[in-house]
């Protein structure tokens, strides 16, 4: 199982939200590129970079941070947040993203999402499928839907999606463990590689997700709060 640390960005700074609530954010003093360099120094190869400004505003904002990290490190960066049109998608790839996660657009404009999947390939386009109480959430988690998460994932798998990044919003930033039971359901979808996110607090949580069959796991707040050290992550990787 791949381990993917996350850096969430607001105004070019590292932050973490609690349950996707922009009013409940923790600002960290370290610069994103500094954090990225330290991750790489510990032998970590992957990074999930989230443009929270972009997610809220519906247009890419912090692509400059992506560009610097891609230039200054060799990390394979998955970028997400605010990608709603062809221009924003091209910007993300031009600035150095190896993969891009698209969530809101897959709900609001499925035809465009499928065109991107065809144009760029399923190895580069990740389906963002974040949920609250089994319903898909969009717009930086500010908007809900009535779409069932399992139906959503099955439909897009049938259309060729290979990677899906799923976050239980009620777990995100709470440091009380991931939604293992939900992820056990998701990994039963044949051919779908699950990137699990939300609530990961310990190495034991990561081991549970690996046993569940997740292809990868996102770790965010647990690193910043000292629950999991980079040395431990490196050893697990």
Element (H, E) at 212: helix 203-212
Q: How many other CB atoms sit within 10 Å of the CB of residue 123?
A: 10
Name which of 72-76, 79-83, 140-144 the model is least confident about: 140-144
pLDDT in tens, 168-218: 888 876 677 899 999 999 999 999 999 999 999 999 999 999 999 999 999
Of 8, 51, 88, 172, the active-site residue reads: 8
Distance CA 98, CA 92 (A): 9
Of 53, 130, 168, 205, the active-site residue reads: 130
Strand 216-219 with 2-10, pairing: parallel
pLDDT in tens, 87-139: 999 999 999 999 999 998 999 999 999 999 999 999 999 999 989 889 998 76
pLDDT higher than threshold 70 for residue 20: no
- For residue 63, name the pLDDT band (cuts at 50, 70, 90): very high
Mean pLDDT of 44-63: 94
Q: Strand pairing partners for 126?
A: 101
Element (H, E) at 216: strand 216-219
The distance of Cα 184 from the centroid of its chain, to the nearest Å, equals 19
**Can 130 be counted among the known catalytic residues?**
yes
User: Which pLDDT does position 102 carry in this prediction?
Assistant: 95
**Can 205 be counted among the known catalytic residues?**
no
Tokens standing for residue 64: 């400059």
Q: Residue 44 in contact with residue 237, Cβ under 8 Å?
A: yes
pTM for the structure as a whole: 0.92
Distance CA 157, CA 161 (A): 5
- For residue 29, name the pLDDT band (cuts at 50, 70, 90): low
Domains of the chain (ranges; CATH) run 2-229 (3.20.20.70)
Mean pLDDT of 140-154: 79
């Amino acid at each position: 199982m791949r381990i993917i640390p996350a850096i969430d960005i607001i105004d070019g700074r590292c932050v973490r939200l609690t349950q996707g609530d922009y009013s409940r954010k923790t600002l960290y003093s370290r610069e994103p590129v500094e954090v990225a360099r330290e991750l790489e120094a510990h032998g970590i190869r992957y990074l999930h970079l989230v443009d929270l400004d972009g997610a809220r505003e519906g247009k890419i904002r912090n692509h400059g941070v992506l560009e610097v990290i891609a230039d200054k490190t060799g990390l394979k960066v998955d970028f997400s947040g605010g990608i709603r049109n062809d221009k924003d998608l091209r910007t993300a790839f031009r600035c150095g993203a190896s993969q891009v996660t698209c969530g809101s657009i897959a709900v609001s404009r499925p035809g465009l999402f499928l065109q991107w999947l065809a144009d760029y390939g399923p190895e580069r386009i990740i389906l963002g499928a974040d949920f609250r109480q089994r319903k898909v959430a969009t717009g930086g988690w500010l908007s809900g839907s009535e779409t069932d998460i399992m139906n959503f994932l099955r439909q897009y798998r049938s259309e060729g999606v290979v990677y899906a990044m799923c976050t239980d919003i009620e777990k995100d930033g709470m440091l009380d463990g991931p939604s293992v039971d939900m992820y056990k359901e998701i990994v039963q979808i044949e051919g779908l590689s699950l990137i699990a996110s939300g609530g990961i607090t310990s190495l034991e949580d990561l081991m549970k997700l690996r046993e569940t069959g997740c292809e990868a796991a996102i770790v965010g707040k647990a690193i910043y709060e000292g629950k999991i050290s980079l040395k431990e992550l490196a050893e697990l990787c």
